[in-house]
Structure 1
């Protein structure tokens, strides 16, 4: 993954719950005078178009130039073909754009879209995946997470999470939703957003897939895991039993119980060095077995015989490692890896990684 090339076109994937406000945000991007030339790709998985009045369609793929310098492109077929086509048109001087935003439909798992940038050599040569942004609706967020597995995946994949419609819920409800999101994904930054005021520059150049960026893990998440872990599990079982027997009037009380979402995260840390060969074998093995359930994983590795940190990340089965900064003289080297995925067996991962330590 050669993310260093400045001539590469940065790409942002925009995903989120149905009705959370993706289209509102896109309309702003496509109409506002923000001085950025952006190509927006609407990734159509369903027959109905997301936003008819925004686009003029005739034929399979339509590219529309807009007055503010943006370009809009609707994909009926294959995303790879559309990206290559856009690049070709840009190279030939037929369209101008500096970056791409891809909107996925509300029901889509962003994984396959994300993998496109690592699988196809031609796309990997021209485009650089910058970040995945997920929009969550504060009003219906809890319900959507309960009912739709895709919404948990969208949060698991995200580098930045925007919560819309915060003004429609109480502070308690907002905090409960936020806490739940942190449990699913401790490394994404979370902020409430009013689409009338969202700064477009805050959505671009986040460097979510740039390995030089510091590995950020929400510190509250770690604290919570260590201190309250057993309490939470026990507490939840109790609530569950209680909820099953007490009829409809205690629904609200039951709702306060911690949610056991399918998608979750855990962190592995060690001050001991990894044996590089054993680690490579182990990571290769777990990505084969658990690849479909591993959404994002990312970390700093302390390897025996290597005097600098190695930076590593992956999406599903695809994994990349590249050298980072040398360890400073007074620094205590430490490995730190976060795994986000569906029902991952934490013990198997932890034991396996411990077996790879020198």
Structure 2
């Protein structure tokens, strides 16, 4: 459902940086049906798709730990001010990260109510966005019960990105899809792990692989550095197995396509990520039977578990969905 045509001052602004943060916010968009809404994000295919769907999208330039770094802060602040002036909002709902944090804080200072949903990727510790934004938020949502100890007044809900994981795998699917995601760090370890499994006959071909900035050159299959979102979705649907990094959006995409993906977490110590939160997420999702956590080589047992695609225990939880929790919080504050 598209947003209603009510006054912009009554609008709800949905603010998230491109990638997994935007995927999580988009997954709960039905919570805002019937309310005028504005999306604030960075330039991306996700932003383009929202515009094509008739949504009101405002873009902010990146800044922070990824290029252009702190040099991007001044342009980001100027763009945030323009958005605040041209599209005032009664409330801002954000999942982070850095690109939209200044905007969210400026909107709160200007009188907007602020709601923060911590990313599914955070299982035991707060994100930097959470540490900055949560103290100013009217309500905080977390997606794992363990996070109640981190955000004392938070509402605990089911993981938003796992809600759509009830589709059956495509009949006749063949081969293996491999993705390292879109992070700037290389992930040679994943590509090499798959190479050994394909060579040993543990994983079947044909193999469709996305390698990002990795320098490893597989012997048993070929890889493309980047793939468009629609190409990734198609490859997931057509593959029998998915092997990927532990990014929340990539994992949830595989689950939504009917897979129990084989997931290798990026590690900070190996220079594959800035934090260890992928390891925490993968371990937690493995406990919920949503993924197969890969620690060393992929063996026949891992593949058998990946073939057993029963519903994740996280989706059978009695906790409220993130969509329902957000709708309830907005109704309490905005009516």
Please give the TM-score of this superposition, normalised by the length of structure 2.
0.34
Q: Name whichever structure is richer in strand by fraction.
A: 1
